Amino acid sequence: MRDTTQIDDTPVGRAFRILEKLSSHPDGLTLSEIAASTDLVVATVHRHLNTLINVGAVRKLNTKAFVLGERMWVMASQMTNGADITHSAAPVLKDLADRFGETSFLARLGDRNVEVMSTCTPTAFGQSFVQPGRGMPLYAAASGKILLALSSDSFVDSYLRQPRKAFTPNTKVAEAEIRAEIRQTRDRQIAICNNEFDPGILSYAAAVEDQRTGLTYALAVFGLADRFSAIERGTVETQLLNAAQRLSLSLGSFRSPE
């Protein structure tokens, strides 16, 4: 059995001691605080911090404190399959589902499609729902449209070279139409899909930014168009944008503002 009482004083071991200490202090620690809590001299900590900053594992705030960097948050999210995101999203999804009486869900960009991460279904009988893990096209679903609009131009160019099919008579498949909708979505920060993917379904989606990682997610709500369209469009958009902002802020609370 490995002796866990022995401190690893190799360069890698010292770097891990710094990262472990920062992981338990999301508000950040100063150089001297890190040195004191890791039993390392200030010069050694300073040298390791410079290396960790250069590889994106640590980030320095304007307050002169140090926090975990984007690369560490991305790794943590990948290892947990976004568990921290879905945990933070749960109350926001429930609020949307309760507010509109329709299904809400959180999604991310998968392998050139929409990957549903978590969903909240109203208790009322007969409501539409979507299962986590379901894939949807970026050009036809509201959640896909917002993710596509927030992608780089090079990704959009590559994606639009792929063949597309019409799921309903309302599906936009022409490149010019899709590019026009991308521009509109980027301007308005909201995407709408009305009977374009699933027949008879109306959906809205807004972007959620995880400032820790730089990754973007889609927060969406949808239901039968005959029923959901009775709610004024501006009301749905405003409430959805507010919900997306709340979730973005809750994710940002895991680290100190710069």
Q: Tens digits of per-residue pLDDT, 106-156?
A: 999 988 899 898 899 886 544 555 554 467 899 999 999 999 999 999 999
Instruction: Say if pTM beats, i.e. exceeds, 0.85.
Output: no
Listed by start position, the domains of the chain span: 11-68, 81-252
- Domain 11-68 and domain 81-252, same fold? Reply is no
How far apart, in whole angstroms, are the C-alpha atoms of residue 232 and residue 243? 17
The share of the chain scoring above pLDDT 70, in percent, equals: 88
Condensed to tens digits (0 to 9), the pLDDT of residues 62-112 reads: 778 998 887 887 777 666 666 678 888 999 999 999 999 999 999 999 888
Rounded Cα gap, residues 84 and 251, in angstroms: 9
- Long-range contacts of residues 36-41, Cβ cutoff 8 Å, at least 24 apart: 38/14, 39/7, 40/14
Taking the C-alpha atoms of residue 78 and residue 101, their distance in angstroms, rounded to an integer, is 32
Q: What is the CATH number of domain 11-68?
A: 1.10.10.10
Pair of tokens at residue 171: 């599906």
Token output for 173: 């498949």
Residue 158 banded pLDDT, cuts 50, 70, 90? very high
User: Do residues 65 and 31 lie in contact, with contact meaning Cβ atoms separated by under 8 Å?
Assistant: no
Helix (H, G, I), strand (E, B) or coil at 227: helix
Burial (CB count within 10 angstroms: exposed 0-12, middle 13-18, buried 19+), residue 162:
exposed
CA-derived radius of gyration, the chain? 22
- State pLDDT tens for residues 189-240: 999 999 999 999 999 999 998 877 778 999 999 999 999 999 999 999 999 9
Question: What is the Cβ-side half-sphere exposure of residue 98, based on CA atoms within 13 angstroms?
Answer: 7
b/e 234-250 (16+ beta carbons within 10 angstroms → b): eebbebbbebbbbbbeb
122: its two tokens: 């109203």
Give the pairing type, strands 66-68 and 58-60. Answer: antiparallel
* 81-252 is a CATH 3.30.450.40 domain: yes
